[in-house]
Structure 1
Amino acid sequence: MQHSIVQADVRAASAKLVLSMASTPEELREVQRLRYKVFIETMGLSSLAREDGLDSDEFDEHCDHLIVRDTNTLKVVGTYRLLSPTRARKLGRLYSENEFDLGRLNNLRGRMVEAGRACIHPDYRGGSVIMLLWSGLAEYMRREQCDYLIGCASISLADGGHNAVAVYQALATQHIAPPEYRVTPHLPFPISKLEAAAKAQVPPLLKGYMRSGAWICGEPAWDPDFESADLFLLLPLGNLDNRYARHYGVAGEGA
């Protein structure tokens, strides 16, 4: 993918935002600093605190990183991590396989892009940043000739897990994947042992996936490090609702 994918005179907090792909070690560190701020500092995960202020792992060097930059301040304000089938094959595994057995999806591996670490600075969450990231994701999938998007979506356990139970129960009634696409968590979140919250509060990113036609592929995994319950998602591009397809730049294209 070319370094500059798309430019847009959209404004969030009087910002001019530009979408590109991280292409230097410094840009990757900018991504990792933003992720640290959002995932570690904002969530108060002191057990994951690091002196370098970076959220990094062994997958970063194998992935492509979409970035949205505010050209007024030159700061990276949004990012999405993408793992292509070719790089996943060289690496030998997907990030999601840390949490789930994906055996039933083996026949799709050559056509799947794994997306993760979606992250937007708190001051830029009005919608423009995520729209740019999704447009870049659609372009990336076209270039990789992939028609399935996979990844994990996290639900905070700050309330003891009651909302996670409520979210799973609500989504499983309408958005559960066909049996042939089901996955199994290595460390299941104990949904049967907790009472559901009175009303499910679906995280915005997860809500966006559901509106776009994604399926949840089974019960959530428990991530004790990030104190979250994680759902595995599968989005066939053919499921994209026309409204979202227009926004994401894939209108008129089949799966």
Structure 2
Amino acid sequence: MLHAQERPARDNGHNRHQHYSVGLALNEREIEEAQRLRYRVFAEELGARIRSRVAGVDADFYDPHCQHLIVRDESDAGTGKIVGTYRILTPEAATKVGSFYTENEFDLTRLQHLRPGMVEIGRSCIHPDYRSGAVIALLWGKLAEFMLKREYRYLIGCASIGMADGGHNAANLFVQLIDSHIAPLEYRVFPRDRLPFERLVTGHAAEVPPLLKGYLRAGAWICGDPAWDPDFNTADLPLLLPMERISPRYARHFMRG
């Protein structure tokens, strides 16, 4: 791995913010480093069952077709390591591969007419030592720039809620959010393995994961009932964010360029 000062300047919108740098991965080595971070968080920290050919690497069928957004810590102490990542699947790449990853969990038939302008984001992952908010802000800012430059109009993806408590928080959260954040009927999708949230609701106030809270504040809709992902042991909420719905506060923060 080259040191920060030895890496070639990125020609894909890479820029620096304080001691961080953010941009799209340029080669397989950078992608694998991001995948190792994903494995550390999803498998080692959260207990997901990761099936991979390479030990310590979270890689799947979709990864070669995705663009991988990465944030590095360029401080002396950080030594240029990747501390945050997102993967992006464009509509053109989804057509080439045959589907979006989200379609493994949800029937997206009602979103068919949006596909030419619809980008899927996923595998959001931040190193446990860097979860103060700065890294996710950099990822979102670069993602917004990616969308605007290429004139894509919709973001889709899943917000995952851990089910270590048996799914009660996920069920309570869905019930708590559904009235104010449910998508219009024409944008509803349907889980292939539906979480039976009605049987899990306890009525207690739910804890909202920070990433989901950010999506909803930005203007995202929840497009239907949660799906259960047995490999990651999460309840996954389908989200759709039309770029035109991004709140003015988020637009000022992430799209000032």
1:239 partnered with 2:245: yes
CA distance in 1, matches of 2:50, 2:136: 26
- Partner residue of 2:15 out of 6, 14, 17: 6
Q: 1:24 aligns with which of 19, 22, 27?
A: 27
Task: Report the CA distance between 1:206 and its aligned residue.
Answer: 0.4
* Post-superposition CA distance 1:9-45 (Å, at most 9, x none): 1xxxxxx100011011100110000000111100133
Query: Does the aligned pair in 1 maintain the 2:155–2:242 contact within 8 Å?
Result: yes
- Distance 1:154-1:139 versus aligned 2 partners, 3 A rule: same
Measured in 1, the distance between the counterparts of 2:98 and 2:150 equals 18
1:155, 1:197 → 2: CA distance?
17
Residue of structure 1 equivalent to 2:229: 223
Uncovered stretches (5+) of structure 2, i.e. residues with no partner: 1-9
Q: How many residue pairs get matched?
A: 244
Task: Give the 5 Å matches for 1:27-38.
Answer: 27-38=30-41
**Counterpart residue number, 2:90:** 84
Match of 2:162 in 1: 156
TM-score, normalised on structure 2? Answer: 0.91
Question: What is the alpha-carbon root mean square deviation over aligned residues?
Answer: 1.5
Q: Deviations over 1:83-126 (max 9, x none)?
A: 11111111110000000000000000001110000111111111
| d(CA) in 1 for partners of 2:20, 2:56 | 24
Q: How does 1:1-255 map to 2 (within 5 A)?
A: 2-9=11-18, 16-45=19-48, 47-48=49-50, 52-72=55-75, 73-196=79-202, 198-249=204-255
Contact kept in structure 1, 2:39 and 2:50, CA below 8 Å: no
Q: Contact (CA 8 Å) 1:35, 1:119: kept in 2 or not?
A: yes
Q: Take 1:195 and 1:106, find their aligned partners in 2: how far apart are those partners?
A: 32
User: Identity of aligned pairs, percent?
Assistant: 54
Instruction: Tell me the SS of whatever aligns to 2:123.
Output: strand
| Deviation of 1:247 (Å) | 1.3
Cα pair 2:51 2:58 within 8 Å, conserved: no
Partners of 1:3 and 1:22 within 8 A in 2 = no
Distance 1:249 1:63 in 2: 23
2:7: which partner in 1? none
**What letter is aligned with 1:202?**
V
Q: Deviations over 1:172-197 (max 9, x none)?
A: 01000000000000000011222335
Counterpart Cα distance in 2 of 1:130 and 1:195: 30
Distance 2:188 2:125 in 1: 26
What's the CA shift for 1:169? 0.5
Amino acid at match of 1:29: E
How far is the alpha carbon of 1:250 from its aligned partner?
5.9
Q: Structure 1: give runs of 5+ residues left out of the alignment.
A: 10-15
CA change 1:4–1:236 in 2 (3 A) is closer
- Matched position secondary structure for 1:48: coil
Change (3 A) 1:2 1:113: farther
* C-alpha distance after superposition, 1:146-177 (max 9, x if no partner): 11110011000000100000110111010000
Do 2:141 and 2:255's aligned partners in 1 also have CA atoms closer than 8 Å? yes
Structure 1 segments (4+ residues) deviating >2 Å = 1-6, 47-51
TM-score (norm 1): 0.92
* 1:69 match: secondary structure: strand
